[in-house]
């Protein structure tokens, strides 16, 4: 028992010796390197599954409604369950929650493989598998963000959040390419069965990884049990006096509701309208430009540290993102569209990772999981409606006009959030009380 009790002190000693004020500072922590590698592999597997399953659904059913359900089932669990899952992660070991999520992902991949092999897939099978996949996603992402607090010390937390956001785009870039190669080389059934194995490294690493409640130097007090959906309203009340968390949660939610990834789903239409050679290649290049811009942002934010996280900087970057998207919506030259999408990806990752880092840095310890869950509910869950603001409206007025209108409305909302922040921080006393935890510790 005494030997076990010494483990937290040893872990803390190792973590606190991590180099400070260096580029990619989170990578100096061995535990984070393992987390990053397994996270990228799992994110790649997530996107491989999308590529293969969506292709097979289209080939078998040719159902736009089922395609719409695939998007809805992916994001709606974040809207409904992020806060309850965050509350659960406050009370339980986040490692085990992530492992459950990985096992669900593996079950879904194996399920697709069985139905593809036997050619017995029906619509209700697809609905169940897509729903399970969405539930696995909310379990994984919310618990994974909470686990970062166990893996890295506070000074490296912002770096870890940015690198995790970059890892997501690495998966988005690599996953479709690998998925396409597996689809062609192995066939859909064997390809997606192989994909199930890509989740295993994260499951295995987490089994003995020295993190979680038993390894914390100071136990995190948890005052409330999991209460389901009532956690959402209670968490909103609990953070009402924390302007940084409120503003960044509103920023993430507004960006997701008005735009989210709605314009990416409409990229085939943009590629067709730009009329640049083969539509398939043009479509792939547009998506790659957006993801490459985000990847570049992650590298630059880590290597140059030219943007220190602050609410007003996040708002300024979001406003710039809106302007770039308006310009893209009316671009008629293909090279210009590529350049604008590269910029869009750059600014999107910059402001979204900054907002997430500020929430995690300022979340009170006793309700950190619920606060992160509320942010995910807003920043990810509300993406379920971006298909309406960009897609459904686009069917009536054209996708170029709907994207421009959505970006303009978002600009006005974000400007209002910026006004709130500027007004709230007008008093030096209020600004000092709301300073990020990292700055308070440094002072």
pLDDT value at position 441? 44
Q: Closest Cα partner for 223 from 367, 378, 342? A: 367
Confidence of residue 100 (pLDDT cuts 50, 70, 90): very high
* 208 or 218, which is more confident: 208
Q: Closest Cα partner for 166 from 297, 356, 360, 35? A: 297
pLDDT value at position 380? 85
Residue partners of 261: CB distance under 8 A and separation at least 6: 383, 386
pLDDT value at position 429? 42
Tokens of 45: 């597997």
Cβ burial, residue 185 (10 Å; 0-12/13-18/19+): exposed
pLDDT value at position 179? 83
pLDDT value at position 41? 94
Q: Closest Cα partner for 387 from 71, 55, 58, 63? A: 71
DSSP-derived letter for residue 422 is: H
Say whether pLDDT at 121 is over 50.
yes
Q: What's the rounded Cα separation, in Å, for the pair 341 and 219?
A: 45
Mean pLDDT for 90-111 is: 94
Share above pLDDT 90 across residues of the chain, in percent, rounded to a whole number: 34
Ramachandran angles phi, psi of 31, nearest 5°: -65, -35
Residue range 234-443, CATH number:
1.20.1250.20
CATH 1.20.1250.20 fits 26-207, yes or no: yes
Helix (H, G, I), strand (E, B) or coil at 92: coil
Q: How far is CA 305 from the centre of its chain?
A: 21
pLDDT tens track for 237-273: 888 888 899 999 999 999 999 998 777 767 777 888 8
Say whether pLDDT at 118 is over 90.
yes
Mean pLDDT for 92-104 is: 94
* 202 or 80, which is more confident: 202
Dihedral in degrees, nearest 10, Cα atoms 124, 128, 131, 137:
-140
Confidence of residue 124 (pLDDT cuts 50, 70, 90): very high
In this prediction the pTM is 0.76
Say whether pLDDT at 4 is over 80.
no
pLDDT tens track for 332-361: 899 999 999 999 989 998 898 889 888 888
pLDDT value at position 8? 39
Residue partners of 51: CB distance under 8 A and separation at least 6: 175, 176, 179, 180, 183
Mean pLDDT for 299-317 is: 80
Say whether pLDDT at 116 is over 90.
yes
Q: What's the rounded Cα separation, in Å, for the pair 26 and 15?
A: 10
Say whether pLDDT at 113 is over 70.
yes
Supply the DSSP string of 13-75, one letter for each residue.
HHHHTS-SS-TTGGGGSHHHHHHHHHHHHHHHHHHHHHHHHHHHHHHHH--HHHHHHHHHHHH
What are the boundaries of each domain within the chain?
26-207, 234-443
Tokens of 125: 């099978």
* 279 or 287, which is more confident: 287
Identify which of 82-86, 230-234, 434-438 has the greatest average pLDDT.
82-86
């Amino acid at each position: 028992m005494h030997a076990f009790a010494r483990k937290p002190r040893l872990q803390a000693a190792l973590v606190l010796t991590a180099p400070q004020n260096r580029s990619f500072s989170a990578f100096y922590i061995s535990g984070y390197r393992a987390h990053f590698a397994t996270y990228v592999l799992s994110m790649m597997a997530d996107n491989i599954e999308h590529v293969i399953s969506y292709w097979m659904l289209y080939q078998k059913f040719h159902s736009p409604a089922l395609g719409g359900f695939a998007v809805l089932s992916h994001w709606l669990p974040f809207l409904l369950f992020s806060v309850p899952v965050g509350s659960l992660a406050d009370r339980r070991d986040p490692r085990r929650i992530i492992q459950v999520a990985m096992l669900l992902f593996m079950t879904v991949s194996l399920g697709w493989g069985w139905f593809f092999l036997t050619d017995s897939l029906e619509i209700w099978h697809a609905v169940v598998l897509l729903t399970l996949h969405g539930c696995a996603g909310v379990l994984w992402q919310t618990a994974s963000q909470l686990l970062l607090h166990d893996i890295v010390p506070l000074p490296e937390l912002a770096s870890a959040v940015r690198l995790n956001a970059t890892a997501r785009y690495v998966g988005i870039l690599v996953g479709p390419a690998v998925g396409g190669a597996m689809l062609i080389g192995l066939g859909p059934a064997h390809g997606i069965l192989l994909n199930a194995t890509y989740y295993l490294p994260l499951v295995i690493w987490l089994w003995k990884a020295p993190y979680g409640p038993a390894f914390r130097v100071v136990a995190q007090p948890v005052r409330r049990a999991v209460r389901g959906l009532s956690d959402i309203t209670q968490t909103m009340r609990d953070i009402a006096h924390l302007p940084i968390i409120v503003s960044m949660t509103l920023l993430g939610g507004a960006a997701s509701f008005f735009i989210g990834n709605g314009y990416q789903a409409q990229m085939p239409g943009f590629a067709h309208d730009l009329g640049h050679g083969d539509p398939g290649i043009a479509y792939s290049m547009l998506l790659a430009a957006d993801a490459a811009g985000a990847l570049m942002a992650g590298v630059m934010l880590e290597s140059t540290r030219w943007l220190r996280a602050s609410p007003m900087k996040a708002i300024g970057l979001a406003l710039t993102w809106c302007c770039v998207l308006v310009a893209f919506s009316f671009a008629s030259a293909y090279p210009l569209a590529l350049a604008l999408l590269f910029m869009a990806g750059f600014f999107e990752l910059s402001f979204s990772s900054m907002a997430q880092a500020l929430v995690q840095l300022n979340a009170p310890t006793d309700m950190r999981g619920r606060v992160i869950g509320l942010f995910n509910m807003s920043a990810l869950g509300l993406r379920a409606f971006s298909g309406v603001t960009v897609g459904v409206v686009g069917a009536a007025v054209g996708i170029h006009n709907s994207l421009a209108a959505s970006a303009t409305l978002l600009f006005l909302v974000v400007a209002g959030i910026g006004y709130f922040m500027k007004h709230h921080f007008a008093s030096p006393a209020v600004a000092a009380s709301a300073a990020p935890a990292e700055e308070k510790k440094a002072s």
